[in-house]
């Protein structure tokens, strides 16, 4: 078993894991899946993600959504992504990327590439496959727009519903988010669908030893390019964020007032977190909703 054989016979990886000498080393890779580095006898490695054994089976389409998203991003020839080698209902295998350190040069290259990705566009809001954002189902049913209608229905309202069902928000929180939903059409900033990563916070940037920044763990779909830019600012922000955004703006300037709309895009991420993890993230929803209400008033 080596990478050439694996590319030709990807479906055999689970069998070879049981019957061949493949060294498996657990590695960091997120909070949902079991992640490993598999090293073959010739020294070549791949990165794999599988559903934890204690969690039963992966949701239908979970790994396919990520594989489809990575390939959809890669086909533009813009942002760098790990090559998808194995895609089964229970496992995703990708090329191993040696980790490096962030640099200003890599950040600028990434900013230009991200602008190119967004300009590649999408046929509609959503995507041709069912999606996941983390472990939460993401409604990708294609929608013609305008963006604020699609975003309100398919992201904010959906994640709000999941958060309420979980008991993560107080009734007053729900009422404030519903006021944001009612005022979305007054905010402006609508654009045609861009091809976006969809979960582009700093933890999903992989800075390689080769001096390139790659994107991983996408929730890829046709959306608003400002969503990716807003997510890059979350939780301390991406390394060299100013260089990323400057290079992006040189390649394709964002629409006027985009920084004012950052909270509107970040609200979907905070609502996703209350849906997945509960009331610990409710303060983020409250603060972000307050900023959004100043926009929609």
Q: Which residues are catalytic?
A: 199
Query: Environment class of residue 158 by beta-carbon count within 10 Å: exposed (0-12), middle (13-18) or buried (19+)?
Result: buried
Query: Residue 194 is inside which H or E element, if any?
Result: strand 194-196
Query: How many CA atoms lie less than 13 Å away from 23 in the CB half-sphere?
Result: 9
Beta bridge partners of 84: 94
Nearest CA among 91, 42, 36, 37 for reference residue 63: 91
**CA–CA separation, 263 and 187 (whole Å):** 12
Nearest CA among 68, 198, 86 for reference residue 134: 198
The answer to whether the beta carbons of residues 22 and 2 sit under 8 Å apart is no
**CA–CA separation, 159 and 165 (whole Å):** 10
Nearest CA among 207, 235, 208, 203 for reference residue 219: 203
Beta bridge partners of 208: 99
**CA–CA separation, 118 and 76 (whole Å):** 10
Nearest CA among 83, 10, 275 for reference residue 162: 275
């Amino acid at each position: 078993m080596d990478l050439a054989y694996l590319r030709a016979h990807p479906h055999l990886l689970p069998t070879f894991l049981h019957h061949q000498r493949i060294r498996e080393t657990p590695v960091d890779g997120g909070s949902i899946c079991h992640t490993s580095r598999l090293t073959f006898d010739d020294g070549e490695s791949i990165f794999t993600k599988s559903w934890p054994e204690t969690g039963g089976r992966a949701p239908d389409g979970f790994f396919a959504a990520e594989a489809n998203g990575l390939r959809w991003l890669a086909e533009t020839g813009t942002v760098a992504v790990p090559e998808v080698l194995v895609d089964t209902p229970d496992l995703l295998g990708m090329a191993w990327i040696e980790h490096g350190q962030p640099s200003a040069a890599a950040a600028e290259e990434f900013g230009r590439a991200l602008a190119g990705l967004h300009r590649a566009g999408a046929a509609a809001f959503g995507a041709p496959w069912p999606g996941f954002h983390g472990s939460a189902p993401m409604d990708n049913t294609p929608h013609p727009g305008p963006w604020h209608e699609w975003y309100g229905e398919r992201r904010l309202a959906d994640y709000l519903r999941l958060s309420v069902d979980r008991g993560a928000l107080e009734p007053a929180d729900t009422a404030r988010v519903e006021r944001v939903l009612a005022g979305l059409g007054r905010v402006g900033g609508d654009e045609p669908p861009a091809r976006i990563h969809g979960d582009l916070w700093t933890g999903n940037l992989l800075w390689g030893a080769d001096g390139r920044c790659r994107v991983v763990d996408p929730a890829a779909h046709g959306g608003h390019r400002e969503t990716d830019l807003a997510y890059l600012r979350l939780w301390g922000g991406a390394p060299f964020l100013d260089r990323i955004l400057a290079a992006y703006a040189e390649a394709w300037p964002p629409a006027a007032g985009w920084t004012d709309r950052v909270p509107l895009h970040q609200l979907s991420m905070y609502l996703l977190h209350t849906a997945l993890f509960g009331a610990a993230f409710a303060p983020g929803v409250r603060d972000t909703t307050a900023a959004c209400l100043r926009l929609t008033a």
